[in-house]
Chain A
């Protein structure tokens, strides 16, 4: 038997007919080629630049490498896995020796390619890296232990096997007409070049492994096999809704955002700054909410895409809620941008299924199945919804976590990075991230730049050191001594640094009144005394919010129905109309209370089951926001959840002392819109609660939420002031508090405490920054490292599913773990979702999609010690383990008692207060 016959006998996919190895390798290469041909020219130019080859040669070379991803299947271990196939291989002359233990074929791919690529003439470093990258196509590079096991097999293997592999490799190169790249420098391949091949191999393999797209049994000996495979690949991509890049013509701002009559200063500055950009850029937008940052970013994407040929857009937001909120706006933009063509929009985060807008898209995509052309409009095809594949879609909205997983060595992280390649990545609300997450974000920026993407970073103002860190992560060098002008501003880092200051959108001068008595009873009296009006109180902890709500007085529970009745005829505002649509189904749910004098009181915090929180959020947005019916006497008690994103407008605001940036965020909710107000509130006033003794510990526990030093420093900076310009004063205060860290400037009695707490703060910051740098791929050349801390992450082989507890903890490193629970009520023998025992909780057997969503909507995240510690030790019910949506949840019977040391508490679910912890 000849080597060729032996090689052709090898199988890749078992079955009748089976699929030969060479055939699958060529199929995969064909998919890679087809994908690259549908990419914008700039993506292809990046591949060409990676290897110093002309474009066609570079594509053929990359496709050949992708094809070789399964060369490891040309091993006795793999070929013995299917008896029929094994016999055929044996008959073709390839002997099977004593079969040792099983080793994954990816490991063999690496070992084979290490040698064969070198023998072919590729320099050692490039060969080894490519080999390891292609061997990792199932998610992780092989470790030393796997490789030494694989090597043992090779020692006893008949030499014909190696001949067969060499023949396969040559055949793949020959069929594709792939050249060898010229040797560059010291024979290394750049990490981003390796990544571009590495990720494409996984992606192409997913497509080529689908037998409905690539039927088995096609004979690779046929001369036109590759041509046919290319046709199938093209067809497959069409059927899967993979869009070809269409160059967008440059459009005017007004065409894309018809609802904005005239672009504002920010929206005008962005195009001016981008004018003439011919390399990818970082655009840093520092501006307060309400300046149309989102539209500016979307327009920046359009201009960059039109100018540079970026392949798409990813908008990364801090939370799922904000991502859901932005989705319709991005969709609208894309629909206007893509008139006639099809632009896919992908909502990408763990609970995307619950977003009604997204679910609608999915429904529309589903019945048609693959193969039928859409008639335009944004269609998130189901294919892209499978988690791993999702980041590949050219247009997406999701959480930052999803993007950050690209720089942590979890499963298939490299596919995520590839998906963000040559894209415009918009990172929103960057000020909200802690030191650790900011560190990961800097690593992400480094990769984005290396991968030829542009980034738009949007933030409220940042302390100078954090701004510098972001700019330098992009620039790769020091960005020192730049006078960027005052806030708000836009900074562009491309070839050089350009900056523009903007006139503030709206400046409010707020009278500041300090309350040194922070107990909830007097505070409640004070708030009630400020009525009539729409009064807000933002406090630092959930317990305190619940206490304050109670202290406002006994009232009658207010159902949604009752609320609608009271506000009866008043219509108006989209938010309020959406709330009213929920009436038939949820009219009976409690959303607040009514005091005897008719005052409406609402409570909003994160310890309500998701659907209750969402309903309350909508109600609050409708009543305190733009356009809706504004009750004459209303108080909202809220935690930090009211500080971000929600477009609320209070006549008067009370806030607990918090770090200065958050105080400004909160103050931004004061007299936010133009509207008539009660006389007493004609001028905006902020009440700031600061405990008399400056003790932020027990029973306030503010020091568990914020850094003691930052609270102290904020207080020191504010004391003596009686007004604040929002946002005008923020920048100077930020700098004073975060950068001018000088405990000596504190009054005598506080100096020692300031010194100590500052030291603790600095040490913690350094530690978190260091941890982020070590655990993430903060340096490009650690992509495949086996020796560093990142390799320890890889060693854990974490799923790339941010809902998994382990992955989540790696992403956040939150000191206090939390657990998402579904509160259940015991009625008789059974556990129910409701107190009355009408909806039984499915715990056993199969859980339908509807049931799963119903459970998920009841979830609430709890962190009180030792609740997560105990509950995470318990397995979820069997039925939940099978569901991606439910796997991370734990049932929690209402009334259950938890103990920590001497103390014990009982978990209750109160319809008005949410989850409460009652001492027992």
Chain B
């Protein structure tokens, strides 16, 4: 019956597969888009600004005359590097912290608990704004801020999973054998808490994309002249009243499809592992 559990069930979930197709499509655009688009996404064409969609420009042009289709395809890149990078950093740090607080406990556990409550008392966007104002917006800062905010949140999930494991016989056996604490945490316990970590990571990735997109829209995320979707919407939304819907709609639809895709993947994994 091993097929019915774990990976087999994940792969068979139609929700998961639908999400995966969407995510892989955008990953493909992010990796190879630069060579697939017919027009340079960064080239201005000031004689041809705000042109409606046509055979020459499938999604029209923006206020600088740049080709919107090319920019939407290439625009998958920035967000799909910043958000996963931040999530990965937070997962590594959060896992280590969660193992420590769950297994060793003590004052570190108490401090982390308080810290999480404070972090949760502030909306993600507002905390990020504060730090980004302090340090100045840049891609590295955005990654660092999101990673730092996510670390205790992931640590909390890992900690809960570790607490459930540490009372089990195999941990007691390892302790009796005289294994070091580091060994017990990373060799004995870690493999057994990987499923909840995987779920937490995919869920966090969704939030990271949401946050990066919102920060870029607010002007504190990915900076010009990037083709990032949130940035494109921020640069052009003032003009939709004038009827130039193509400058923002395609970037908006792309953002929506990506976050929904990641979320379907996360939900598929979660449903299969529970």
Do A and B form a real pair?
A: no
- Residues of A whose CB lies within 8 Å of any CB of B are none
